[in-house]
Amino acid sequence: MANLTLLQAINSALREEMRRDERVIVLGEDVGKNGGVFRATEGLFDEFGAERSVDTPLSESGIIGMSIGMAMYGLRPVPEIQFMDFIYPAFDQIVSEAAKMRYRSGGQYTVPMVIRTPYGGGIRGGHYHSQSAEAYFAHTPGLKVVIPSNPYDAKGLLISAIRDEDPVIFMEPKRLYRSLKGEVPETDYTVPIGKASITRAGKDISVFAYGAMIPICLEAAKKAEEHDIDVEVVDLRSLVPLDIKTIINSVKKTGRAVVVYEAPKTGGFGAEIAAIIAEKAIEYLEGPVLRVAGLDTPFPYTFEHIYMPDSRRVFEAIEKVINF
């Protein structure tokens, strides 16, 4: 196995799928010769040329609109939105066209494309380079929303997404791009979309998270262990489809739950997790379901460390539920 960063794992997935299937095309701002703002597509232009590693104008709506057309007529486009904060000009194309094409055409057309986009804080990017917009897209039927937290999952999930027949929003936690490494198979493999992973087994309380919050939760679990609290950390991996069975089974085992996400608290996806637990496992609960999330403000630059959940805030929520 290779020891790769999350960024290298994504590059490996793109390269292998482009070699395997000539229909796979990457496109976006600076993804070609420059290799992308984070270098996720580095080297693809040299190997596959300008027709399959396409530099586009600075027009998110145009990038996604063009990708929809490509996907409907036989290609497998993987458009990159440079930062998730810039996805909003393409919002109508995504939610009104890509997400609804299979339904409105009675299955005659599908839109097999993967919209890759770096999301979240942790790099001091300020309010135009730090947003987490997963809830907008999870609310839209017809889209799949996938968020890896480690190199192994990043490669396997991206390959699954590229081979999927429906549009996928593939959100990449940019604070983890180069900050962690992991073993990644050099052979072909996939990670199934819609299946959560129990990153750390425990018996006292369940902590649910995804993306960049997984390392934070694992750190909090270590702190909790020092206080004789055994924490189970569940990496959701995909929000749509959501692995409800794993969520409920975990809560049935521990009787307690904390949900962690870095988007603003109100209307965040963590509220959906809490509601599902209340509907399907309330008789097993021994305390409230708490959310640890970002604040209901624009993402700050100077106070990024206050806005974002950290292991201290997660541990305090764990303690509160345990002592309820």
The average pLDDT across 127-131 equals 89
Q: What is the model's pLDDT at position 222?
A: 98
Note the pLDDT tens digit of each residue in 259-283: 999 999 999 999 999 999 999 999 9
Note the pLDDT tens digit of each residue in 74-124: 999 999 999 999 999 999 999 999 999 999 999 999 999 999 999 999 888
Band of residue 195 on the pLDDT scale cut at 50, 70, 90: very high
Rounded to an integer, what is the distance from CA 229 to the centroid of its chain? 28
> Which whole-number Å values give the CA distances from 112 to 51, 57, 207, in the listed order?
19, 22, 33
The average pLDDT across 288-313 equals 94
Of the three residues 118, 149, 184, the one that is the final residue of a domain is 184
In a domain, 254, yes or no: yes
Do residues 29 and 91 share a domain? yes
Number of domains making up the chain = 2
Band of residue 1 on the pLDDT scale cut at 50, 70, 90: confident
Residues identified as active-site: 129
In a domain, 189, yes or no: no
Q: What is the model's pLDDT at position 302?
A: 87
In a domain, 250, yes or no: yes
- Residue 105, C-beta contacts closer than 8 angstroms, at least 6 positions apart: none
Measured distance CA(44)–CA(32) in Å, rounded:
7
As a whole number, the mean pLDDT across the chain is 96
Q: What is the model's pLDDT at position 276?
A: 98
The average pLDDT across 65-72 equals 97
Return the percentage of the chain with pLDDT > 70, whole number: 100
Of the three residues 152, 184, 216, the one that is the final residue of a domain is 184
Residue 320 has pLDDT above 90, yes or no: yes
In a domain, 191, yes or no: no
Q: What is the model's pLDDT at position 323?
A: 96
DSSP label at residue 236: -
Between 291-295, 302-306, 313-317, the lowest mean confidence (pLDDT) is in 302-306
The average pLDDT across 117-140 equals 92
Q: What is the model's pLDDT at position 123?
A: 80
Note the pLDDT tens digit of each residue in 206-261: 999 999 999 999 999 999 999 999 999 999 999 999 999 999 999 999 999 999 99
- Residue 41, C-beta contacts closer than 8 angstroms, at least 6 positions apart: 11, 14, 26, 28, 31, 32, 35, 53, 80
Do residues 171 and 104 share a domain? yes
Do residues 169 and 275 share a domain? no
Do residues 8 and 123 share a domain? yes
In a domain, 164, yes or no: yes
Cβ–Cβ under 8 Å, residues 54 and 63: no
Closest among 127, 128, 129, 113 to 38, alpha carbons compared: 129
Check which CATH number belongs to the domain holding 95 and give it. 3.40.50.970
The average pLDDT across 181-190 equals 94
Do residues 148 and 177 share a domain? yes
Do residues 110 and 20 share a domain? yes
Measured distance CA(281)–CA(249) in Å, rounded:
9
Q: For residue 222, what are the domain limits?
A: 197-322
Closest among 239, 240, 154, 246 to 201, alpha carbons compared: 246
Cβ–Cβ under 8 Å, residues 137 and 272: no
In a domain, 190, yes or no: no
Q: Which residue has the tokens 């909790």?
A: 224
Measured distance CA(129)–CA(301) in Å, rounded:
10
Closest among 313, 41, 270, 299 to 147, alpha carbons compared: 270
Do residues 210 and 130 share a domain? no
In sequence order, what E strands does the chain have?
A: 2-5, 24-28, 53-55, 76-80, 114-119, 144-146, 168-173, 181-184, 197-200, 205-209, 231-235, 238-240, 257-264, 290-294
Of the three residues 159, 184, 209, the one that is the final residue of a domain is 184
DSSP label at residue 135: H
Do residues 77 and 136 share a domain? yes
Check which CATH number belongs to the domain holding 249 and give it. 3.40.50.920
Band of residue 127 on the pLDDT scale cut at 50, 70, 90: confident
Do residues 252 and 113 share a domain? no
In a domain, 192, yes or no: no
Q: What is the model's pLDDT at position 314?
A: 98
Instruction: Please tell me the number of Cα atoms within 13 Å of 123 on its side-chain side.
Output: 18
The average pLDDT across 119-136 equals 90
Residue 288: Cβ within 10 Å count: 15
In a domain, 34, yes or no: yes
